[in-house]
Homo-oligomer: A and B are copies of this chain.
């Protein structure tokens, strides 16, 4: 009978119709914390806005009272930071995996990171908006920057440095400066496609290849 509704555990987290969850015993506090974070992440994916997410709806989805959230998080911002940290981790691992799969060539690695970045954003538009356009990120001491931004920029700058040393770039720009330019380009592609879906933007992979080769001065 339970097999009639597949993916029941996932539904339990996200469904607002869930009413109660059984009282936890002593050591189970951390399990509730995890359930709150993943329920918040699921709701944020749908809403695409940290402001639209209500702490009470997260509590309802988990099947717990609203004040229970405060047992694990200082306030709503604190919960959002926890979710954002997980999301930045996922994005970083995705980019690193794409670069590793691209092999030894530094130019191929940079292109692979650009492709993976845009693909992640378009696959998770709500999460992308929370990380890059949410109110939280402007108010806080940039937790995502230390956790994601700096290493991501340095990885690309490192590849670009090697590419320049091998005479692969047609330009004399600093690698760090080029990395920032590339980030702005792929962010523009991703953000505008998410926020203005009414326009026929064309294939994102094609645009990444076109823009990055031109900005880097590649043959």
Q: Which residues of A contact B (CB under 8 A)?
A: 48-49, 51-52, 129, 132-133, 135, 137-138, 142, 145, 149, 177, 180-181, 183-189, 191-192, 194-199, 201-202, 207, 210-211, 214-215, 217
Contacts and interface: CB of A to CB of B under 8 A. Distances in A.
Nearest to A51: B51
A35 to B, nearest CB: 26
Given A133-B129, A184-B189, A48 B198 contact: no
A84 B23 CA distance: 48
A195 B180 CA distance: 14
A17 B187 CA distance: 40
A51 B133 CA distance: 13
B52 A196 contact: no
Contact of A188 (B52, B129, B133, B184): B184
B192 A184 contact: yes
A208 to B, nearest CB: 10
B137 A196 contact: yes
Contacts of A133: 129, 133, 191, 195
A184 B149 CA distance: 20
Nearest to A145: B198
Top 3 nearest A-B pairs by Cβ distance? A188-B188, A184-B188, A51-B51
Contact of A215 (B48, B135, B202, B211): B211
Contact of A191 (B49, B135, B187): B187
Contacts of A201: 180, 184
Contacts of A214: 214-215, 217
A192 B144 CA distance: 13
Max chain B C-beta neighbours (<10 A), residue from A185, A194, A215, A217 = A185
